[in-house]
Amino acid sequence: MANEKFVSQIADIETDFPQWYTDVVVKTKLVDYGPVKGTMVIRPYGYAIWENIQKEMDARFKAAGVENAYFPLLIPMSFMTKEAEHVEGFAPEVAVVTHAGGAKLEEPLVIRPTSETIIGHMMGKWVESWRDLPLRMNQWCNVMRWEKTTRPFLRTSEFLWQEGHSVYATGEEAEQETLNMLHLYEEFAKNVLCMPVLIGRKTEKEKFAGAVATFGMEAMMHDGKSLQAGTTHYMGQNFAKAFGVQFTGVDGTLKYGYTMSYGVSTRLIGALIMTHGDARGLILPPPVAPIEVVIVPIAQKKEGVLEACNALADRLKKTGVRAKVDDSDNSPGWKFNEWEMKGVPVRIELGPRDIEAGKMTVFRRDTLEKQDSFTLENAEETVKALLSDICENMYERAKTRMQSRIVNASSLEELLSGVDGGNFVRAGWCGERACEDKVKEFAQATARVLDEKNDLPTCVCCGKKAKHTVFFARAY
């Protein structure tokens, strides 16, 4: 019997954004909650998004000359203590294994929170000569950070990511790679996630534990908060010295290498949900959508309808489009609601009249527009053009919204008013930690990245001459 029950309502995006987010990720079957507090189970629809992110990102790494490898999940505790700033930064989040095989371990083992230490150890074994450099590797893996407050995709105790690590002969090369990967992430955010970002250097307070410098990309969510969507780190010789990453130079002398690292995670899924979603649910960018086109048969029990829908899906699949025919016994209205909430970019409705007229009715998820003038004969060209246009429109719409919500502030009161209004706030900063802390205390906002356009003359906090212009925001 047909299931006429429509998809449950989701919370209002404007009045209860946190509940909207929770409703969307659960009711669209992206995730479920794991049995261990703070963990998530990524369901097939959500994992398919991650697979598409992974595929697109991995292709970019390989094109840049980076090779994939894999390193152990368990790290000796002694490795974590070799770089003092690193261990201090991660100590509150570390999960430790003390027993295995029914016996207490001689040395406790850390469950990987990040891999700088173990990769540094292996680099110390593998790098001997200047001929071994640069060594550029990436791994796709899981990590564990024991978070107290969690939310699916945004902050969970275990999550998936990629972490790239490179060692170079000179600091200049490692610094350049740090910036190159930052720009690779920026291009990926634009062309794959249709998501505009701000990129720049982090303050000393916000940098990665053990790094010389950290650079980040920040995305604006629907509620005006910032989400750190990716980071790159220049480590200098900190980890090289801690783990003996040395090489014999061209001149015959022994030198320490210079390392850098970079990473993005399943948090990107949360970013695209909160950047593009609307009152109806998800709006997925075509490059990562598990289903780019869903075909809904109208009067599907009538002769020839399902056959025509399947034939159209096969044609689209041959051109590389991820297409699906919803031949379930739910009503067309139920299917419309379901696939709109799941964010499928394009819906095609095909019934006896359409088939007879040689046409198809097409619905765009990004604009909610429906047109019935497209011909079946040119379906492949039509769909390809639509998907491209949807990508461009999603990016431009998000970019316009972000740019309209960047404001300047010359006082703490203006900064507070700006973040209260759901904006990113540009403000001058003297460079002193005390003033950065004061901003957080007064406005509950943090320094996200430094703006290259350093044009604001005075510190928003103390009024002294500004050394930097900073993007401040409340953040996830």
* Model confidence pLDDT, tens digit, residues 124-157: 999 999 999 999 999 999 999 998 889 999 999 9
Same domain as 382, residue 414: no
Asked, for residue 1, whether it belongs to a domain, the answer is no
Cis peptide upstream of residue 134 (ω within 30 degrees of 0): yes
Check whether 39 has a pLDDT greater than 70. Answer: yes
Same domain as 329, residue 225: no
Check whether 6 has a pLDDT greater than 90. Answer: no
User: In this predicted structure, what is the pLDDT of residue 90?
Assistant: 76
Q: What is the pLDDT of residues 448-469, one digit of tens each?
A: 999 999 999 999 999 999 999 9
- Residues 87-97 have a mean pLDDT of 83
- 379-404 and 305-318 are packed helices; what angle lies between their axes, rounded to 10 degrees? 70
User: In this predicted structure, what is the pLDDT of residue 4?
Assistant: 40
Listed residues 276, 301, 328: the one ending a domain: 276
Of all residues in the chain, the percent with pLDDT exceeding 90 is: 94
User: In this predicted structure, what is the pLDDT of residue 148?
Assistant: 84
Asked, for residue 398, whether it belongs to a domain, the answer is no
Listed residues 341, 365, 389: the one ending a domain: 389
User: In this predicted structure, what is the pLDDT of residue 91?
Assistant: 76
User: In this predicted structure, what is the pLDDT of residue 8?
Assistant: 59
Q: At 86, phi and psi to the nearest 5?
A: -65, -50
Q: What is the pLDDT of residues 18-34, one digit of tens each?
A: 999 999 999 999 999 99
| The one-letter amino acid at 466 | A
Strands 135-144, 254-256: pairing kind:
unpaired
User: In this predicted structure, what is the pLDDT of residue 5?
Assistant: 45
- Joined tokens for residue 283: 């709006």
> What's the predicted TM-score (pTM) here?
0.95
Check whether 182 has a pLDDT greater than 90. Answer: yes
Query: Whole domain around residue 452: which residue ranges?
Result: 405-473
Asked, for residue 3, whether it belongs to a domain, the answer is no
Same domain as 299, residue 264: no
Same domain as 450, residue 352: no
Same domain as 336, residue 188: no
Same domain as 445, residue 353: no
Same domain as 65, residue 23: yes
Q: How confident is the model at residue 430 (pLDDT cuts 50, 70, 90)?
A: very high
State how many domains the chain has: 3
- Residues 167-186 have a mean pLDDT of 98
Q: What is the pLDDT of residues 393-418, one digit of tens each?
A: 999 999 999 999 999 999 999 999 99
Same domain as 370, residue 415: no
Asked, for residue 400, whether it belongs to a domain, the answer is no
Q: How confident is the model at residue 88 (pLDDT cuts 50, 70, 90)?
A: confident
CATH at 419: 3.30.110.30
**How many other β-carbons are positioned within 10 Å of the β-carbon of residue 81?**
14
Mean pLDDT of the chain: 96
Q: From 145, 81, 150, 147, select the one nearest 113 (Cα to Cα).
A: 145
User: In this predicted structure, what is the pLDDT of residue 85?
Assistant: 75
